[in-house]
Structure formats: structure tokens, C-alpha cells
Amino acid sequence: MRRVGLYWFGNDLRVRDNANLQQAGAVVDQLLCVYCLDPQWLSPNQYGLARLSPQRWRFLKEALQDLDKNLQQAGQRLLVCYDAPVTAIGALVAKHGVSVVYRSRHCGFQERQQWLALQQHIPGLRFIESDTHTLFNLKDLPFAQLPPTFTQFKELVEHLPVDHPLPAADALPPCPEPKSDWLLNFPVYLPASYALDPDLPFHGGETAGNKRLKTYFHSGYASRYKDLRDELDGWENSTKFSPWLAHGNLSVRKVHADLRRYEHDHGANESTYWLYLELLWREYFQWYAHQYGKRLFAFRGITQRKPLTCFYAERFQKWCQGNTPFPLVNACMKQLNATGFMSNRGRQIAASCLVNELELDWRFGAAYFEQQLLDYDVASNWGNWQYLAGVGADPRGKRHFDLAKQSRLYDPHGKFIRSWQAEIQNLPLDSVDAADWPVDPAQTKSVLPA
């Protein structure tokens, strides 16, 4: 009797170093490779924001197209379902007699709820998860409860061995439907097909991600990473791996292996160690999201402290558009809106402004970053926002960046601000108050940094 398996792609849109996909291919006779585009993504979230910007849609579409191309080389195709995962996968299981479902373990609360709901919906089915989105496997972690701080986490895990990345499978079992029925057509809410724009720095997919990985470690910039990482602009000033890591186009274990190879060939130094620390920070937030579940999105975070905020819709819109009284923040936001990317330093500056100068609910900022960032990762995004807002794992509490000092340190000549046309002149913070009453400009105190 033939055994039919289903591989549910999510945060692992690749064929290389995908142990779960290889395991599925080794034990089933036929295999469905499925990705679900949930129509719920079209609806505004609770903050009134779109879940994916056009830039994020473009990157995702390119990643799916590249995945389909790479699956074809192994005798497979990608089936994109335009339905909620439980509905779509439930129908495929019934239609094809699927006996086992595979996926990469996901740290997102909603994604975990979908996984549980699918198990309850089809109780007789076998479900297999594996850790393909993290450096370490769940079973190998040296603790039952996540340590309360990153430093404690790092001390426990930084010397753990990391699995070596696997090559792509040469062949996968065939799909149980004619390939002609599996055309990768996208619905109207995704952009139409187009040629890749060479002027765009980020293109989705495993092929582009591995090209960037190879280029970066051949450039020698890894040996200078610590000195360059806080630059606000510049393609080589950071690795730029994060969009491909977020979608699983790149395996974090592959990044780790290439880093160790670089250290072997060119020597380890403080910068290459900092690169490893960045991977550990990402790792910490993955398990942080697993640990705290829906509290990742709670106003009080994982603490009992209630942030003091008053929501001004006008302030939030000005922050989103890069139209605040703070030129450096404006430049960072204009960069984000135009490219879908912002430096790590820029993210901290923009987030600190929203929480401290604008005194807004940190969750609105996190939701806007979710909409705009090509490298949106539920754990890293919401975990970092909690950290900065003082409701997360940082023992120091809320972090407040001196915007004038940040400008002097990281844009002393105003080049970054001018490049994004973010200069302003005595712009008031509000034209209305919290109750939408007009504010007298004559009585509005400028909040420009001295």
C-alpha cells in the first residue's frame, strides 16, 4: 500500500539543509509539498495595519517561485493553497489519503495554534516536527526553562555543537497529482509576474540567499563586522542575511558553518565572534517566543509593568511616514518604507523614539515593523520591541536613546539624513491633542534636539 506524506512549508522555504524534507522523502512513496497563503493575511490586524507590505509580498513571491524551481530539480512541485492551513491541508489529506504531515517547528503563537488545531481536526494522522529554523534542537537545549536573560542563555549554549548543514536531496518522491495541474499561479493580491529588478538589493529565495552568503564571506567584511555593524547605511556594513533567514531561504546552520569555515581560513577575531553572538541573539528570541507564547504580543509583555502611554493617532502616522521633529528618525523610517530594510542601529533609534519621545504603545511600532520589514521574524521583531520598551527580558528596563547623541555618533555630517531627504525645520510634534482638539502653534514647544 502506497504511503502518502505531506510537507507543509512555512519558515523553511528551501531544499538545502532541510532535514525534515529529507526525512519525508526517505519514508513515503508519494509526497505533497504545500504552502498556504492564508486569506486572513489580507485583513488589517488589530492595529489597523496590513500584515504584509507590497515589498514583503514581492519577496515572499520570489521565495516561493525559487522554491518551486528547486523542488522541480528533485522531481517535485510546490502547491500553493489559497486557504487557511487547517482547511487546505485537511482537504488534501482527505483527497490523497495522507498518513503523515511534516513541518519545521515554528515559534509563532498563531502558527503553533494552527498546528494543534490540525491535529485535533484529523486525530488519526501522524504529525512530525523538527528544528530547522534554529541553531540547536529542542532536545539538546541544556535547560527546561529559558534563562531570564540573554547573558545567562549565552553562557549555557555558546559552546554547544551545531549540526552540520545537509545538501539538497537529489530526488524526492513524486507528487500524487499530475504536475500539469500544479501551475504556480498567484491570486490577484500578489503582484503579477515580472523580471527581477537588478536595482533592488533583496530578492527572495534560496538561490539569492546563498549567493549573498557566499559573496559576504568572500568579501572579507566579516573580519570588520564589529566596527561596521552600527552604520546606518551601506550594503557591506552588515551581513544582510536576515531577510533570507526569516523566510528560511537560508539555514542558520549553514550561516554558522560558513562562519566557522571563514574563521578557519582567515582567522577568528572579535568581529567574527560578534557575528556568532548575533546568531545567538536570534536563537534566544526564537526560544523566547516558544517560552512565552501569546505574551509576546501583550501590552505588559512578560512583566507586570504597565507602560505609560497615550495614543495619538497623528504622532503614530508621522512616525510611520518619517515626518516627526527628529531628522534621524525620519531618515530611518523613510529608508524602511522605501526598501523594506533598516539597520539594527536604526531600528533601535526609531523604536526608542516611538516609546519615549512620542510616548506611544510599543505594539503599534512592532506591528508597523511587521508590515514593512522584509526580514520580519515574529520572535526577533516582537522580542526586540519588548526588550526596548522595558516589558521584556532586559534587566535594565526601558531603553531610551538620546537622539541628538545618536545623530552625532552615527550621522555626524548629516549625510544619511540628507540622502533620505529627512531634514525638517521646527516641526511641532502635534497639531491636535489626544482628543483631536487643535493645538495652538504659538504654544507648541519645539522638541527638536539641541
Q: Are residues 28 and 88 in the same domain?
A: yes
pLDDT single digits (tens) 54-96: 899 999 999 999 999 999 999 999 999 989 999 999 999 999 9
Residue type, 24: A
Residue 419 falls inside a structural domain: yes
Residue 388 falls inside a structural domain: yes
Q: Are residues 282 and 335 in the same domain?
A: no
When divided into structural domains, the chain yields a total of 3
Q: Are residues 336 and 376 in the same domain?
A: yes
Q: Which of 295, 298, 312, 402 has the alpha carbon at shortest distance from 358?
A: 312
| CA 292 centroid distance within chain | 18
Q: Are residues 268 and 373 in the same domain?
A: no
* Tens digit of each residue's pLDDT, the chain (450 residues): 789 999 999 999 999 999 999 999 999 999 999 999 988 888 899 999 999 998 999 999 999 999 999 999 999 999 999 899 999 999 999 999 999 999 999 999 999 999 999 999 998 899 999 999 999 999 999 999 999 999 999 999 999 999 999 999 889 999 987 655 545 666 554 554 444 555 668 999 999 999 999 999 999 999 999 999 999 998 889 999 999 999 999 999 999 999 999 999 999 999 999 999 999 999 999 999 999 999 999 999 998 888 888 888 999 999 999 999 999 999 999 999 999 999 999 999 999 999 999 999 999 999 999 999 999 999 999 999 999 999 998 767 678 989 999 999 999 999 999 999 988 766 667 766 555 555 554 444 434 333
φ and ψ at residue 186, rounded to 5 degrees? -110, 150
Residue 119 falls inside a structural domain: yes
Report d(CA 404, CA 412) in Å as an integer.
10
In this predicted structure, what is the pLDDT of residue 236?
Answer: 86
Counting Cα atoms < 13 Å in the Cβ hemisphere of 138 gives 15
Contact predicate 390/398, CB 8 Å: yes
Q: Which H helix or E strand runs over 98? A: strand 98-104
Residue 211 falls inside a structural domain: yes
Contact predicate 59/340, CB 8 Å: yes
Report d(CA 213, CA 450) in Å as an integer.
42
Classify residue 341 as left (phi > 0), alpha (psi -120 to 50) or beta. beta
Q: Are residues 287 and 331 in the same domain?
A: no
Q: Are residues 248 and 285 in the same domain?
A: yes
Q: Are residues 21 and 117 in the same domain?
A: yes
In this predicted structure, what is the pLDDT of residue 356?
Answer: 94
CATH of the domain at 217: 1.25.40.80
Residue 199 falls inside a structural domain: no
Q: Are residues 25 and 96 in the same domain?
A: yes
Residue 381 falls inside a structural domain: yes
Residue 375 falls inside a structural domain: yes
Residue type, 403: L
Report d(CA 290, CA 379) in Å as an integer.
9
Counting Cα atoms < 13 Å in the Cβ hemisphere of 156 gives 17
Q: Are residues 286 and 333 in the same domain?
A: no
Domain that holds residue 285: 206-292
Length of the chain: 450
In this predicted structure, what is the pLDDT of residue 258?
Answer: 98
Q: Cα dihedral sign for 383, 389, 395, 399?
A: positive
In this predicted structure, what is the pLDDT of residue 426?
Answer: 61
Q: Cα dihedral sign for 404, 405, 409, 413?
A: positive
Residue 20 falls inside a structural domain: yes
Cα separation values, 187 from 42, 82, 84, 85, 327, Å: 12, 8, 14, 16, 39
CATH of the domain at 20: 3.40.50.620
CATH of the domain at 421: 1.10.579.10
Report d(CA 238, CA 232) in Å as an integer.
10
In this predicted structure, what is the pLDDT of residue 424?
Answer: 76
Q: Are residues 280 and 336 in the same domain?
A: no
Q: Are residues 324 and 432 in the same domain?
A: yes
Rg (C-alpha) for the chain, rounded Å, is 23
In this predicted structure, what is the pLDDT of residue 433?
Answer: 57
Q: Are residues 266 and 345 in the same domain?
A: no
Coil, helix or strand at residue 36: strand
